[in-house]
Amino acid sequence: MYVPPMVVTNDDLAKLVDTSDEWITERTGIRQRRFSQGAPTWVLGREAALQAIENAGIEAGEIDMIIACSVTSDYCTPSLACMLQREIGAESAACWDMNAACSGFIFALDAAYRYLATGGASTILIVCSEVLSRITDFEDRSTCVLFGDGAGAVVVKKDEGRLFESCVRSQGKSGGALFARSGKFTSPFVKKEEIEKYDLFRENPGCHLVMEGREVYRFAVAAMPEMINNVCEKAGIPCGDLDWVIPHQANIRIIKTAAERLHIGMEKMVINLDRYGNTSCASIPMCLDELNRSGRLKRGARIALAGFGAGLTCGAIVLEW
Ligand code: UT7
């Protein structure tokens, strides 16, 4: 994982909008987050990718696929994955981006597993990197206190560890609950009104991230336990036998509700949102790295990963480390 050095506390945000450390901590569990001081998404991604390669003990030249996930890519094209290839010198890799918002890591690992299983690739680098502060509206207290910047990366190989089951889902009809525009369409040949009539979310103009927090909350508290149950059931692993659960880090209340519904103790739920806020698709690989580096992740450990986010999307994976 990599996070930029600048720490922004709840008190810092209370100087910008009408909020308080008490409200943010009680309603979300977030105490601080990191914000980029100008480093773009590819830089955060590169730092995480280089560490993942070192930890895996491989050479960049061995990587035959890079899957990058982000909702804050620096360029429409080339892809973030191609930018990372150029930076790390993974010259044999086929590179592509995947956008499943906060569920990105789950969707990417699911895809990587399928490439490995069919022999389409043998060493895959997944990089999740977000600079959410570039799409955050720092005048909107209901969203600006939630997000942070960060990156997480993993190397996955065939025959090391084991993925038991994965499940990914989407609910496009609820897309308006959480969205950010990629930029305004303007053309000297088309009237503004013609363009605007196709804007699905025209009641909320602007280029920042917009969220209907309660709707996403309701979706998340239902989806997360359901998806974990689903993959565990298919894998024949009782939820109680899991060593760790790594949930997407959006709100501690969502995580506690999931733990209660699954009858899993909070000590098995991996948390980092208190320190980094919601880092979208980077949250799960960042937690995985912290858990691994702390020495608590033993070979053979059974881990469930679960994500949800814009799209709306959700997914879960149960694997053996
Ligand atoms: O990565 C996936 C994307 N996001 C999520 O998963 C987020 C899911 N949703 C949530 O986590 C929660 O819905 C939020 C944390 C976003 C909001 O918490 P909530 O308990 O659902 O609050 P609310 O939206 O129902 O707002 C309650 C009150 C409102 O005031 P009134 O109308 O009751 O007077 C808000 O205006 O809290 C107010 N409020 C705030 N007050 C102080 C909203 N944001 C703030 C704030 N500081 N930052």
| β-pairing verdict for 32-34 and 7-9 | antiparallel
In this structure, the number of other CB atoms found within 10 A of the CB of residue 126 comes to 27
> In this structure, which residue's CA is closest to atom 18 in ligand 1?
27
Instruction: Please report the pLDDT score of residue 145 as a whole number.
Output: 98
Instruction: Please report the pLDDT score of residue 207 as a whole number.
Output: 86
Where does residue 238 rank: exposed (0-12), middle (13-18), buried (19+ CB within 10 A)?
Answer: exposed
Q: Which residues contact 176 (CB under 8 A, 6 or more apart)?
A: 200, 201, 212
Give the Cα separation of 108 and 126 in Å (integer): 7
pTM: 0.97
pLDDT digits (tens, 9 = 90+) for 213-229: 999 999 999 999 999 99
d(CA 312, ligand 1 centre) in Å: 18
Pocket test for ligand 1, best of 10, 12, 142 (most atoms within 8 A of CB): 142
Collapsed DSSP state (helix, strand, coil) of residue 272: coil
Give the Cα separation of 117 and 34 in Å (integer): 37
104 lines ligand 1 (CB under 6 A): no
The parts of the chain modelled with pLDDT lower than 50 are none
Q: Which sequence positions are flagged as catalytic?
A: 102, 248, 278
d(CA 213, ligand 1 centre) in Å: 6
147 lines ligand 1 (CB under 6 A): no
**Can you list the domains of the chain with their CATH numbers?**
6-157 (3.40.47.10), 164-174+208-320 (3.40.47.10)
321 lines ligand 1 (CB under 6 A): no
Whether 146 and 30 have beta carbons less than 8 Å apart is answered as: yes
Collapsed DSSP state (helix, strand, coil) of residue 78: coil
> In this structure, which residue's CA is closest to atom 38 in ligand 1?
142
